[in-house]
Amino acid sequence: MRDESKKYVFLLVLTFALICIGLVMVYSASHPIAAQKYGNSRFFLFRHFIRLVIGFIFLAIGVGVPYQKWVKFGRPALLVSFVLLLALLIPGPYQATLNKAHRWLRIAGVQFQPVDFVRIFVIFYLADVLTRKEELLGHFKKGLLPQLVVLGILLGLIWRQPDLGSMLILTILIGVLFIAGGIPIRFLAPSVVVFPVVFFLMHDYQRLRIMKFLNSVIHGEPVSYQVAQSLVALGKGGFLGVGLDNSTQKLHFLPEPFSDFIVSILGEEFGFLGILVVFTGILIVILIGYRIAQRARTKEGMLLAVGISSTIALYTFVNAGVVTSLLPTKGLPLPFISYGGSFQISILWGIGILVNIMRQSEENEEAVPGREWTHRARAAWVQK
């Protein structure tokens, strides 16, 4: 077996290993709540398992379908994104509302969060448009401005849900893809003004959350009850942890212990060593993804790999930052590990696409120099 073949098999095996760790942790963190609330300690485990099965079906589709077809689907995918996000703003029986946030749709009994698929659809779209319009990328009005308008409206719809965390992560992801695609950095530098503008447009509770975080940085106090309980869990775990299923913080002390704060339970039961193993595994997946981008035989393949890898990196960074009080509190899942449906499905779909890009790069290794597209992208925004 060739080295590249070994690499994508390794990527699949590592992904499966992380998913299995996630299954164990979801059950460990959720069974006390599930038993009390639903009378079935495996309630959340079963739901998570079914969603992962669907996720692996998407992974298989990603492996089997040439990634060029996803890129060709870029513009229709963006249209689908607008339809899904607009549906969240129109009252109807298909909406699922939680804490006054309209982030979920329920169709044929299946509930999902559209933004998880919108994110990967945006990656398809930018891989398409930044490749087709490569010669126009040096012109602000013809190259960048139309994309800023279209994607700005899309981000505004996510803002309206409201879903500030997903909007900010998607904004950063779009910026990463612009740079990787060859947009001159001088066009993107002024966009940093977006972040202070966003602060003043926030809802009061969102600004209060950020001010509490800044106050915690100055005075050393936990930013919220959830984070305080998360730090207690991590402190109890120490280096080796208290052992599987021996966590006490999951016993109604730490809210959402099996989703947004699952790392806290991981740290309590398996200690710093357990967290190190999991985050090292995720880091390796991210690095393999960027390596795939570097060796992609086409620009669209490079952009897809950069987008998927950056998504995993951003969510991992934010989740870790929140549970350790290094970032403002925001409920975002950890790839491969947290309880979740549409999010984990989209991540597994992305892993399948990465494998497809890697396989095509191996088959056409001599046709196109491995680093051609990354060198061209770097030169484009540095020189212009």
What pLDDT sits at residue 8?
A: 77
For 347-373, how does the pLDDT look when each residue is reduced to its tens digit (9 = 90+)?
A: 999 999 999 999 887 666 544 444 454
For 257-309, how does the pLDDT look when each residue is reduced to its tens digit (9 = 90+)?
A: 898 899 999 999 999 999 999 999 999 999 999 999 998 989 999 999 999 99
For 71-120, how does the pLDDT look when each residue is reduced to its tens digit (9 = 90+)?
A: 999 899 999 999 988 888 887 666 666 655 667 787 766 778 889 999 99
Q: Which residue has the tokens 């900010």?
A: 168
Which has the higher per-residue pLDDT, 91 or 46? 46
Which has the higher per-residue pLDDT, 195 or 119? 119
* pLDDT surpassing 50 at residue 380: no
Strongest mean pLDDT among 118-122, 145-149, 165-169, 184-188: 118-122
pLDDT band at residue 233 using 50, 70 and 90 as cut-offs? very high
Determine if the pTM surpasses 0.75.
Answer: yes
Point out which residues pair with 102 in neighbouring strands: 97
Burial of 322: CB neighbours in 10 Å, binned 0-12, 13-18, 19+: buried
Backbone φ and ψ for 96, nearest 5 degrees, come out as -125, 115
Q: What is the mean pLDDT of residues 200-227?
A: 68
Mean pLDDT of the chain, nearest integer: 84
CA angle 68, 73, 77 (to 5 degrees): 140
pLDDT band at residue 47 using 50, 70 and 90 as cut-offs? very high
What pLDDT sits at residue 384?
A: 45
Buried (b) or exposed (e) across 71-98, using 16+ Cβ within 10 A?
A: bebbeebbeebeebbeebeeeeeeeeee
What pLDDT sits at residue 253?
A: 86
* End-to-end Cα spacing for the chain: 43
Which has the higher per-residue pLDDT, 216 or 287? 287
Interhelix angle for 3-38 vs 262-295, to 10°?
160
What pLDDT sits at residue 201?
A: 58
Residue pair 359/284 in contact (Cβ under 8 Å)? The answer is no
One-letter identity of residue 186: R
